[in-house]
């Protein structure tokens, strides 16, 4: 049987970059047929309908069906995987948290529609910003759907971190593993290399040979570069990241469904590493049997703990802000 995938905001930039890769089998594999539901608001319908015509013209072997709708009941009907992309992107000079008021209203009704109409095995990946808190809102409105099925995309941050490490080491990105992203998909996030390896060797040892003082390099170069990469992209290209975001979304879902030993994702906290229960925070995770598990027992020194706490404090503030708006 085919997998039904709902893409909200399918008429937007990331939607356009996602659809054809999903239809080509990049997300679920070359043997898995897919049915696509393109969910938009009325203003976005024409763009989504145009994308649907192009999907037809792609003559994808794996693509069984495409439906374009602005009705969430239709869009989420029988959905196995929901990619919640539809939301306003930020512009120059904005932080992602500035989108809270504009976008938070989207995710409560979508959580309700998922609860009412999606398949019982539904998995949700929130891409629309601020992704962690939007995932929290959607989960809190989805009665009967386990909270751990709602996730927020921080794989883009992990991919950015691995790419920066590869550049610093002049090494292929494929050899770089066990980089962790902690906290919020925001400028406070903590990209953590203390457990990372390059070709099986501790990455901090390899970095010391290149950059000298690894702690100083992390503080002044690596962490700001990764955490502010979204803003850098906006500054350089005039609008926020698209193809890299779509690619990371595909990585996130592929690893969730097919399994991985180590990646990072925004998942609901059950109190791991002292992160308050119920927050959607990024953690290092593995996927086993189609479920994310937070990788527990990693050492966090005082400096790392302070970095994680600062990002979690921001998530707590965001939760308070949406509570004040009556959205959770
Ligand atoms: P875009 O403006 O090109 O597209 C957004 C689309 O969403 C539009 O077509 C719009 O009509 C649609 N939309 C708005 N409200 C909707 C709703 N209620 N239901 C369905 N569709 C709706 O924006 P984009 O560049 O595709 O970015 C989308 C979101 O993804 C933004 O919030 C952006 O900040 C975020 N983003 C997140 C990451 C991440 O790593 N988490 C990375 C890049 C972008
Ligand atoms: C990104 O990280 O590129 C996205 O979250 C878009 C943004 O606003 O930074």
pLDDT tens per residue, range 76-119: 999 999 999 999 999 898 999 889 988 889 999 999 999 999 99
Pocket test for ligand 1, best of 8, 14, 73, 76 (most atoms within 8 A of CB): 14
CATH number of 155-318: 3.90.110.10
Ligand nearest the Cα of residue 189 is 2
Catalytic residues: 185
The neighbour count for residue 172, using CB atoms within 10 Å, is: 10
Closest-CA residue to 317 (of 97, 80, 140): 97
93 secondary structure, DSSP code: T
CB-ligand 2 contact for 233 (6 Å cutoff) = yes
Tokens representing 136 are 């929290």
Residue nearest to atom 1 of ligand 1 (CA): 12
pLDDT tens digit string along 294-324? 999 999 999 999 999 999 999 999 999 999 9
Q: Is 255 in contact with 287 (CB distance < 8 Å)?
A: yes
The pTM of this model reads 0.98
Cα torsion for 281, 283, 286, 288, to the nearest 10°? -30
**DSSP readout, 209-225?**
HHHS-HHHHIIIIIHHH
Residues of the chain with CATH 3.40.50.720: 3-152
CATH 3.90.110.10 residue ranges of the chain are 155-318
Which residue CA neighbors atom 4 of ligand 2 most closely?
230
Give the chain's end-to-end CA distance (angstroms, integer). Answer: 35
Helix, strand counts (H, E) of the chain: 12, 14
Long-range CB contacts (within 8 A, 24+) of 67-71: 67/35, 67/36, 67/37, 67/38, 68/10, 68/38, 68/40, 69/37, 69/38, 69/39, 69/40, 70/39, 70/40, 70/41, 70/42, 70/44, 70/45
- For residue 1, the model assigns a pLDDT of 87
In whole angstroms, give the CA distance from residue 208 to residue 202. 10
Residue of 308, 321, 324, 322 lying closest to 276 (CA atoms): 308
Tokens representing 13?
């930039």
Distance 223 CA to ligand 1 centre (A): 25
Residue 313 Cα to ligand 1 middle (Å)? 25
Alpha carbon separation from 198 to 165, 172, 227, 265 (Å, rounded) = 9, 9, 21, 21
Q: What rounded mean pLDDT belongs to the chain? A: 97
* Encoded tokens for 201: 């060797």
Query: Ligand 1 pocket: which residues have CB below 6 Å?
Result: 8-9, 11-15, 39-41, 43-44, 47, 85-90, 106, 127-129, 131, 153, 156, 185, 240-242, 245
Is any ligand 2 atom within 6 A of the Cβ of residue 241? Answer: yes
63: left (phi over 0), alpha (psi -120 to 50) or beta: beta
The answer to whether residue 258 scores a pLDDT higher than 90 is: yes
Q: Which ligand is nearest to the CA of 85?
A: 1
Q: Which CATH superfamily is domain 3-152 in?
A: NAD(P)-binding Rossmann-like Domain (3.40.50.720)
Give me the mean pLDDT over the 254-282 stretch: 98
pLDDT at 101: 86
């Amino acid at each position: 049987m085919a997998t039904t995938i709902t893409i909200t905001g399918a008429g937007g930039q990331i939607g356009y970059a996602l659809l054809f890769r999903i239809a080509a089998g990049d997300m679920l594999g070359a043997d898995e047929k897919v049915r696509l539901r393109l969910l938009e608001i009325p203003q976005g319908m024409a763009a989504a309908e145009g994308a649907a015509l192009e999907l037809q013209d792609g003559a994808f072997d794996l693509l069984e069906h495409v439906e374009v709708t602005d009705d969430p009941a239709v869009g989420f009907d029988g959905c196995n995987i929901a990619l919640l992309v539809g939301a306003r992107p930020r512009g120059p000079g904005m932080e992602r948290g500035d989108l809270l008021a504009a976008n938070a209203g989207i995710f409560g009704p979508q959580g309700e529609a998922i609860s009412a109409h999606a398949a019982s095995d539904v998995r949700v990946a929130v891409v629309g910003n601020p992704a962690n808190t939007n995932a929290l809102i959607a989960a809190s409105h989805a009665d009967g759907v386990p909270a751990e099925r709602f996730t927020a995309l921080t794989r883009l941050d992990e991919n950015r971190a691995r790419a920066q490490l590869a550049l610093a080491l002049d090494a292929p990105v494929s050899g770089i593993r066990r980089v962790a992203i902690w906290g919020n998909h925001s400028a406070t996030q903590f990209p953590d290399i203390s457990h990372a390896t390059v070709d099986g060797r501790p990455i901090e040892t390899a970095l010391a040979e290149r950059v000298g003082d690894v702690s100083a390099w992390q503080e002044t170069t690596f962490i700001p570069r990764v955490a502010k990469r979204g803003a850098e992209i906006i500054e350089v290209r005039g609008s926020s990241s698209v193809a890299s975001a779509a690619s990371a979304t595909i990585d996130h879902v592929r690893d969730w469904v097919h399994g991985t030993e180590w990646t990072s994702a925004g998942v609901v906290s059950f109190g791991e590493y002292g992160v308050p229960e119920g927050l959607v925070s990024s953690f290092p995770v593995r996927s086993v049997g189609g479920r994310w598990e937070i990788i527990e027992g990693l050492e966090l020194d005082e400096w790392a703990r302070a970095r994680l706490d600062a990002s979690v404090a921001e998530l707590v503030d965001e939760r308070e802000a949406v509570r004040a708006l009556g959205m959770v």
